[in-house]
Amino acid sequence: MSITYLTKEKLEEVKNELNELVTKGRSDIAKQIAEARDKGDLSENAEYDAAKDAQGLLEMKISKLEQLVTNARVIDASKIDTSKASILSKVTLKNKVNGMEVTYTLVSEEEANLKENKLSIKSPIGQGVLGKKIGDKAVIKAPKGEITFEIVNISI
């Protein structure tokens, strides 16, 4: 059992998706299976096989989401220590080679989204800055070699 830390919003989003899959998703798959079954011989019925495969994938996704909800812990942003980088911290990093700065919010894998500058704490950069304080250096191993970042700011 691995605990996953989520924001309240993300947990609600996951619960809504789970509810949708359990109610509408299962119902839709059942209809597809029934329609395919009505078409005759099941041993040579590609539609039936496809519907059963889709059912298996749906059940697997439902199981994964149920496990996520069960093991989820909601993070209270007001209790986050901004003296060091931690989950839900906004961390501004300065590349020591080219001087560029970028700000990421450190989140769980389920919430990671680079378009929104949400970086997983399990990513190489996330792991490299986790626990660091303002002014600390983080050396990140990248495919092209090591990149050194300086922690410029930590906020909520």
Gap between the Cα atoms of 93 and 128, Å rounded: 11
Q: What domains can you pick out in the chain, each with its CATH number?
A: 4-74 (1.10.287.180), 77-155 (3.10.50.30)
pLDDT cut 90: percent of the chain above it: 51
User: What does the pLDDT look like over 59-89, one tens digit per residue?
Assistant: 999 999 999 899 888 887 777 778 899 888 8
User: What does the pLDDT look like over 82-118, one tens digit per residue?
Assistant: 889 988 889 999 998 898 999 999 998 888 998 999 9
Gap between the Cα atoms of 10 and 147, Å rounded: 31
pLDDT in the model for residue 1: 54
To which residue do tokens 């119902």 refer?
27
Q: Of the spans 16-20, 80-84, 138-142, which averages the highest pLDDT?
A: 16-20
- Is 42's pLDDT higher than 80? no
pLDDT in the model for residue 43: 67
- Edge-to-edge order in the sheet of strand 137-142: 118-120, 101-107, 90-95, 145-155, 137-142
Region 13-19: mean pLDDT is 94
Name the more confident of 57 and 42.
57
